[in-house]
Amino acid sequence: MRFVCSLLITGVLMSSPFSTAAAATLDPAVATPPVAARIAHPSEINGYKRADDYFWLRQKSDPAVTSYLQAETAYTAAVMKPTEALQQRLYDEMLSHIKQSDLQVPYKYGDYYYYSRTEEGKQYPILARKRGSLDAPEEITLDLNVLAQGKKFLGLGLYEVSDDGNLLAYSLDTTGYRQYTLHVKNLATGAGLGESIPRVDDAAWASDNKTLFYVTEDEVSKRNDTFWRHTLGAPSSDVLYTEKDELYDIGVHRSLDGKFIFLDAASKSTTESRYIQADRPADPLKVLIARQIDHRYHVEHHGDRWLILTNRGAEDYRVVSAPLRTPDEAHWSEIVPQRAGVHLTGLTVFDDYAVISERTGGFASLELLDFKTGKRSQVEFPEIVHTAFPSANREHSSTTFRYSYTSLVTPNSVFDLDLKTGKRTLLKQTEVPGYDASAYVSELKYATARDGTHVPIALVYKRGTMLDGSAPMLLYGYGSYGSSTDPTFAASRLVLLDRGVVYANAMIRGGGELGEAWRTSGHLMHKLNTFTDFIDCTEYLVGAHYTSKDRLAILGGSAGGLLMGAVTNMRPDLFKAVVAAVPFVDVMNTMLDPSLPLTTAEYLEWGNPNVKADYDYMMRYSPYDNVTAQAYPAMLVRVSINDSQVPYWEGSKLVAKIRALNTGHNPLLLEVNFGAGHGGASGRYDALKETAFNYAFILSEITPAAAR
């Protein structure tokens, strides 16, 4: 979900929410921060009286709110103006490490090879295919650059081709609010078929090439709650299922062999699957295994059996099979058992083989299963600090498994693995102009948390960087939802490493790096572990002389922005600079408001503050509620006006409150993107400029002028 300081005019409550004088053009030489009014908004919960003086910033349509946000952005531009030359250098350097006209590895589906490619100077990919052979003429299926004309934002959601290759179901978001509209295109003629269905988040074709199953979200809550069947050309669609429980979202996927369509319902702790045969789209849905609290499972099809990845009797999951007609637990046969230290995360099923995605020792791994012999074998990787994940695998009869491999020093590499022989073939490694991997060092270290837990930290730096405490560092963290922050290569990061910056990724509790227990020990009534782990990692890195407090910047976004806000309140002395992107920081007000998108489903991640025990615990870390009169480090808070995951007002309110109470004099900046959503800019060049802006802010705080 949350994928977040007011200038108090002494003794006066302003009659207008915003001082119009502050909206004037700011002179960089005499930049003055905008003044946000304090307007009382009292409430009471669990016997506590609450006051939110910046509640008014939620009124998106209020011109005073717009004026305030514009003034904050103008103030940020003024403060950052001396870095404009640095921003341009960073942008140019990042661009020099990118092959701007490039082709992704094609994958085969049906009679065609599908791929995407980029062209220099164009913001978006071009999606295309070739029939029968890569030497055949190109057919462009979607040119996102054409679709983006006249729009500030464009996001592609679905891209699903019918079995016969004639129809494309695709969806577009044109605001950044992650609200997609479904369209269907005739690929033979290039013409649209007239279908335009709003708020579609997921879809799958039936095998008759005319029936489309799709999932829509509720317009207000943004919860995926309704499953539809649509026949092309029909004036309406049929509702097959509505999920009533507010803790659950639904999604649809089709088995790799194409024979079954699954409707999956999931809360943060429980799942349930229904199914329908793809060649019998008029049939009713059937429940596969009825939901049972805390049972999470994922189903794939193989021959006359289901393959089920389940946590029943296995905290970190196991794989069982069951007959199609009797999938209940009494008929399970175990195929892959639970093993200590191994977390099973996914399943790719072919006719003769399965590939199990796993995590071992904090990092991704792959295990092969031969159905005929029952033999299992591990795929070996050359680096300890790495990640690997399935790529495009669309043909169930294949004996080749495609996966991607990358690390902090290895650009993304696409391999084909021969499932019979184990031979691997490198199809493509992303070309990074001007990059020499041998010039950089990747390491794995462990910090000891205050309760004795060993927390992994992945690091990368340029060979020759002095590790005597003088090096600047950028430390990244997330630590929520069981989501793993895998060590991947980023060409844009080279501009930091080449300036002597050490980059580190703290794999803190609340994430999924070390399995289910790692996740649960950092959520709900254990959430404080996430923040103290990050602080303990920071103190380890300083103590080990990788950096020093006055050279250390931290970065996190969304729930990672919550991390940034919490640790900055707890230990403002420990960081020189903080970048919080679309940060979930107004935890209590947001989680007390069930009318906001996504809130109720989040009770199982953060807690339900309507329950006093949960309220008391959440209040211990909620960043907005814990701002105090102290000296804060330099901070850049970035929000997006169309953000559906974390509303723009969360970060805006945090900045207003810190500015009112801050006893220090470091820069405090709010940057508002008025044309995007949770992920920021959608065009690749625009996104690169945002990164250059962030890095310029960071470098201006943690590196000497000569190193910028």
pLDDT attached to residue 18? 35
**Tokens 């990919």 -> residue:** 125
Residue 421 neighbours by CB under 8 Å, 6+ apart: none
Q: What is the Cα–Cα distance from 551 to 633, expressed in whole angstroms?
A: 12
Q: Are 392 and 415 in contact (CB under 8 A)?
A: no
* pLDDT given at position 316: 98
CA dihedral of residues 617, 621, 624, 626 (deg, nearest 10): 100
Rounded to an integer, what distance in angstroms lies between the CA atom of residue 19 and that of residue 10?
14
Q: What SS3 state is found at 589?
A: helix
User: Is 391's pLDDT higher than 70?
Assistant: yes
| pLDDT score for 4 | 31
Q: What is the mean pLDDT of residues 178-188?
A: 96
Whether residue 11 is predicted with pLDDT greater than 80 in this model: the reply is no
Predicted pLDDT at 389: 96
The strand ranges marked E within 48-154 are 48-51, 102-103, 107-109, 112-118, 126-131, 138-143
pLDDT over 90 at 17, yes or no:
no
pLDDT over 50 at 518, yes or no: yes
pLDDT at 220: 87
Q: Are 254 and 202 in contact (CB under 8 A)?
A: no
What is the average pLDDT across 64-87? Answer: 96
**Cα 320 from Cα 313, distance rounded (Å):** 11
Could you give the angle at which helices 63-80 and 648-661 cross, rounded to 10 degrees? 70
Indicate the burial class of 443 (C-beta count within 10 angstroms; 0-12, 13-18, 19 or more). Answer: middle
User: With pLDDT > 70 as the criterion, what percentage of the chain qualifies?
Assistant: 96
Rounded to 10 degrees, the C-alpha dihedral 240/246/248/251 comes to 40
pLDDT higher than threshold 70 for residue 613: yes
Indicate whether 24 pLDDT > 60.
no
Mean pLDDT, rounded, of the chain: 94
> How far apart, in Å, are the Cα atoms of 299 and each of 80, 130, 274, 449, 484?
51, 32, 10, 37, 22
How far apart are alpha carbons 74 and 68 in whole angstroms?
Answer: 10
Q: With a cut of 90, say whether residue 515 has pLDDT above it.
A: yes
> pLDDT of 466-510, one tens digit each?
999 999 999 999 999 999 999 999 999 999 999 999 999 999 999
Q: What is the pLDDT of residues 580-592, one digit of tens each?
A: 999 999 999 999 9
Average pLDDT over residues 273-298: 97
Q: What is the pLDDT of residue 7?
A: 25
Average pLDDT over residues 73-94: 96
Reply yes or no on whether the pLDDT at 705 is more than 80.
Answer: no
pLDDT attached to residue 200: 97
Percentage of the chain surpassing pLDDT 90? 92
Phi, psi of 67, rounded to the nearest 5 degrees: -60, -40
Half-sphere exposure of 448 (CA within 13 A, CB side): 4
What is the pLDDT at residue 194?
Answer: 86
Is residue 25 over pLDDT 70? no
116 CB contacts (<8 Å, ≥6 apart)?
104, 125, 126, 127, 128
Q: What is the DSSP letter of 661?
A: H
Exposure string over 538-565, b if 16+ CB within 10 A, otherwise e: bbbbbeeebbbeebbbbbbbbbbbbbbb
Predicted pLDDT of residue 597: 85
pLDDT digits (tens, 9 = 90+) for 232-260: 999 999 999 999 999 999 999 999 999 99
- pLDDT above 80 (res 314): yes
pLDDT confidence bin for 8, thresholds 50/70/90: very low
* Structure letter (DSSP) for residue 567: H
Q: Please give the Cα distance from 543 to 537 (Å, whole number).
A: 10
User: Residue 706: pLDDT band by 50, 70, 90 thresholds?
Assistant: low
Cβ(506)–Cβ(477) below 8 Å: yes
* N- to C-terminal Cα separation, the chain: 36
Where is average pLDDT lowest: 5-19, 100-114, 352-366? 5-19
31 confidence band (pLDDT: 50, 70, 90): confident
Confidence at residue 485, expressed as pLDDT on a 0 to 100 scale: 94
Q: What is the DSSP letter of 574?
A: G
* CB-CB contact of 473 with 552 (8 Å): yes
Q: How do residues 403-447 score in pLDDT, each as one tens digit?
A: 999 999 999 999 999 999 999 999 999 999 999 999 999 999 999
Q: Residues 676, 618: contact at Cβ < 8 Å?
A: no
Q: What is the pLDDT of residue 539?
A: 98
Average pLDDT of the residues in 598-610: 93
Q: How far apart are CA 144 and CA 591, in angstroms?
A: 36
What's the pLDDT band for 143 if we cut at 50, 70, 90? very high
**pLDDT, tens digit, 9 for 90 and up, residues 526-571:** 999 999 999 999 999 999 999 999 999 999 999 999 999 999 999 9
Pairing of strands 552-557, 577-581: parallel
Helix axes 528-543, 559-570, angle to 10 degrees: 70
Structural class in CATH, domain 20-94+435-703: alpha beta
Q: HEC string of 192-217?
A: EEEEEEECEEEEEECCCCCEEEEEEE
Per-residue pLDDT, 598:
81
Please tell me the predicted confidence (pLDDT) of residue 10: 24
Examine the pLDDT at 140 and tell me if it is beyond 60: yes
Q: Residue 163 burial (CB < 10 Å; 0-12/13-18/19+)?
A: middle
Q: Is residue 2 very low, low, confident or very high in pLDDT (cuts 50, 70, 90)?
A: very low
Q: Give all strands of the β-sheet with 260-266 in edge-to-edge order.
A: 249-254, 260-266, 271-277, 286-289
